Amino acid sequence: MTNEKHQQVFEVLDRLSIPYTVIYHPPTPTIEEALLYWKDLDSVHCKNLFFRNHKGNRHYLVLFDCRYQLGIHELEKRLKQGKLSFASPERMQKHLGLKPGSVSPFGLINDKEQHVHVFIDENLLKAPRLSFHPNDNTASLSIATTDFIRFLDTTGNGYTFLPLYDTTENTDNEDNVEKTNPIS
């Protein structure tokens, strides 16, 4: 079940002596589909979004708890990077070596020039473990949060922890964060 993209991630984690748990499943291009399989992983499941700035000369990977949704206008305010838009599949391939539906921070392995800056919701620091696709949406892996930070340190990419949403706020404004019910 392991493919070349999975193997690349596993080799990096093994080289760093970072333990992980992996599960294999059918392709899951959306969070809703992935949640059916993630229920067996004891971790916070992350949503990973790839953006570019208005000029197209900066790229950002944004990570947050998949139970929340961030409106792009609210995200622009919080990141303070100006107008954002989703990066094209071509940009995603160029900078992360990934395709839509498989976005993962492990794509930073392919960003040899450290072009992508990572913004991570600080609420994820409270979780003992996080889960992501290993660069392909036919598997998911769970990793200790401290080990994930160790992995980030080895990439050379800049990263910033900041509050992307307030877990105590309750709002109906679509530009703000909305909590979703992942599994009933």
CATH code, domain with 126: 3.90.960.10
Tell whether 184 is covered by a domain.
Answer: no
What is the tens place of the pLDDT at every residue in 44-78?
999 999 999 999 999 999 999 999 988 889 899 99
What is the tens place of the pLDDT at every residue in 4-50?
999 999 999 999 999 999 999 999 988 888 888 888 788 999 999 99
Its domain, for residue 106, covers: 4-165+174-179
Tell whether 55 is covered by a domain.
Answer: yes
pLDDT at 85 over 70: yes
Tell whether 142 is covered by a domain.
Answer: yes
For tokens 């570019």, what's the residue? 52
Residue 145, judged by CB atoms within 10 A of its CB (0-12, 13-18, 19+), counts as middle
Contacting residues for 62 by C-beta, under 8 A, at least 6 apart = 48, 49, 50, 51, 70, 75, 79, 118, 119, 120, 164
Give me the number of domains the chain comprises. 1
SS3 at position 95: helix
Tell whether 15 is covered by a domain.
Answer: yes
